[in-house]
């Protein structure tokens, strides 16, 4: 008789185990995701040796079409370019929304950034033990970022400082490979800006930035039909007069070569930090000028904006190529002058650089 009392307990045990079988798992792969790329979000620190030097960031990845060099390395694809003329700060954080490509295939280099200081002032990178430029390479910078915010456009003034990459200056230099760039670039020419500034503003103190964004570019994932906006170019100087007075290659203009896809639309925003507080504030004296155009080698749609005597909008510049040799390429020229109508400053969208005291 007492054995009959065991049956409900046995059935309860069997039911519990059966329930557990449906609710517990030994293993799963739900925590894996496909790389979607990310913002370039790089903070550099202690760059005092390079404050007065030209510094260039090259956002690159390997797409499988690179050239294999003699030393076995493969040229990466240039996805975005940031140029500081000169760097102008010791510590700073740059965010270029959506500029880093995902890893396209196993074994290929995931999206990263090669950056270098033009120590020998040749405008090109040379890795020479005696008189070398200082270069560093960071690969796969998206992998450790929080996936939910990896591609969210945000100003570094409002972003969480822990979410980006931090690089502290060191002397462990890398031999950078010149990337393969696109055949089209952009040049921004400044004309008569000093006369357009408010009274009392010293043009020497005006910080100028150029932001170049692709409008509905083919998605970095390569998925057909998917399009996205993303940053492809950044240029900065902290003294426009120094730029205008400079009788060098970049006299009076900002050049960002090899970043435009033929036939795609781009938006260029030129920002002037008139009040000199290193922040582009809305509603103040800071100014923004926006130009949107289709990039093309055949047409010169911006000629109407130009007032040069030849009516040409086309210049030649130097293209990035794997051999590091100069190659004439087309630059879409944008002329900025005081007669252009300023656009509104968008603090959250226009502040890509935060200089950290």
Partner 1 sequence: MRRLLAPLLTLALTATAAAQPAAPAGDASEDEEYDPQGPAALRTQGLDDEQARLRFQVAQRLYEQGQFEEAGREFERAYDLSQRSSLLFNAYLAYRDAGLLPQATRALAGYLEAEPDAENAAQLRNRLRSMEARVTEQEAAEAEAEAERLRLEAEAQRLEEERAAAIAAQEARDREDAQSLNPLGYIVGGVGLAMVGGGVAAGVISSGERSDLEDACPGNVCPVDFDLAASQDRVNAASLAADVLLFGGAAVMVVGVGLLFLRSGEDDEDAPSTVAGAACGPAGCMATVQGRF
Q: Does 15 bind partner 1 (CB under 8 A)?
A: yes
Taking the complex as a whole, the smallest distance from the CB of residue 6 to partner 1 amounts, in Å, to 6
Taking the complex as a whole, the smallest distance from the CB of residue 62 to partner 1 amounts, in Å, to 11
Q: Which of 65, 105, 224, 357 binds partner 1 (CB under 8 A)?
A: 105
> 111-136: b or e for each residue (b if 16 or more CB lie within 10 Å)?
bbbbbbbbbbeeeebbeeeeeebbbb
Q: What distance in Å separates the CA atoms of residue 344 and residue 122, rounded to the nearest whole number? A: 37
Give the footprint of partner 1 on residues 164-223 (CB under 8 A): 221-222
CA dihedral 184, 102, 347, 258 (to 10 degrees): -10
Phi, psi of 54 (to 5 degrees): -70, 130
CB atoms within 10 A of CB 139: 16
Taking the least distance from each CB to partner 1, the nearer of 152 and 249 is 152
Binding segment (CB under 8 A) for partner 1, from list 29-37, 69-77, 195-203, 345-353: 29-37
SS3 label, residue 348: helix
Taking the complex as a whole, the smallest distance from the CB of residue 24 to partner 1 amounts, in Å, to 6
Structure tokens at 15: 């039911």
Question: Cβ distance 212 to 231 under 8 Å?
Answer: yes
Give the footprint of partner 1 on residues 44-103 (CB under 8 A): 102-103
> Contacts with partner 1: how many residues (CB under 8 A)?
42
Q: Does 224 bind partner 1 (CB under 8 A)?
A: no
Binding segment (CB under 8 A) for partner 1, from list 82-90, 104-112, 303-311, 333-341: 104-112
Q: How far apart are the first and last CA of the chain?
A: 85
Taking the complex as a whole, the smallest distance from the CB of residue 32 to partner 1 amounts, in Å, to 5
- Residues forming contacts to partner 1 in the complex (CB under 8 A) are 3-4, 6-7, 10-11, 13-15, 17-35, 102-106, 108, 110, 140, 142-144, 147, 221-222
């Amino acid at each position: 008789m007492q054995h009959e009392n065991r049956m409900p307990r046995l059935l309860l045990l069997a039911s519990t185990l059966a329930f557990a079988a449906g609710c517990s798992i030994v293993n799963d792969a739900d925590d894996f995701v496909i790389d979607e790329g990310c913002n370039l979000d790089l903070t550099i620190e202690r760059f005092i040796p390079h404050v007065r030097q030209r510094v260039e960031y090259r956002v690159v990845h390997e797409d499988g079409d690179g050239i294999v060099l003699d030393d076995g390395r493969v040229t990466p694809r240039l996805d975005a370019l940031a140029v500081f003329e000169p760097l102008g700060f010791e510590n700073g954080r740059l965010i270029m929304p959506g500029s880093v490509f995902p890893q396209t295939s196993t074994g290929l280099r995931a999206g990263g950034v090669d950056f270098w200081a033009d120590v020998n002032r040749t405008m090109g990178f040379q890795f020479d033990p005696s008189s070398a430029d200082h270069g560093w390479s960071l690969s796969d910078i998206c992998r450790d970022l929080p996936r939910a915010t990896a591609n969210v456009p945000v100003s570094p003034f409002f972003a969480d400082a822990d979410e980006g990459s931090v690089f502290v200056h060191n002397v462990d230099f890398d031999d950078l490979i010149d990337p393969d760039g696109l055949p089209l670039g952009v040049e921004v020419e400044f004309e008569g800006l000093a006369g357009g500034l408010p009274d009392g503003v010293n043009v020497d103190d005006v910080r100028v930035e150029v932001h170049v964004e692709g409008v509905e570019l083919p998605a970095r994932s390569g998925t057909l039909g998917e399009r996205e906006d993303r940053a492809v170019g950044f240029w900065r100087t902290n003294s426009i007069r120094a730029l205008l007075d400079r009788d060098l290659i970049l006299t009076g203009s900002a050049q960002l070569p090899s970043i435009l896809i033929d036939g795609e639309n781009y938006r260029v925003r030129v920002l002037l930090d008139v009040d000199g507080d290193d922040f582009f504030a809305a509603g103040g004296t800071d100014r923004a000028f926006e130009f949107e155009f289709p990039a093309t080698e055949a047409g010169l749609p911006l000629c109407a904006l130009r007032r040069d005597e030849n009516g040409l909008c086309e210049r030649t510049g130097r293209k990035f190529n794997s051999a590091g040799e100069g190659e004439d390429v087309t630059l879409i020229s944008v002329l900025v002058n005081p007669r252009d109508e300023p656009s509104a400053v968008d603090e959250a969208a226009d502040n890509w650089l935060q200089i950290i005291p």
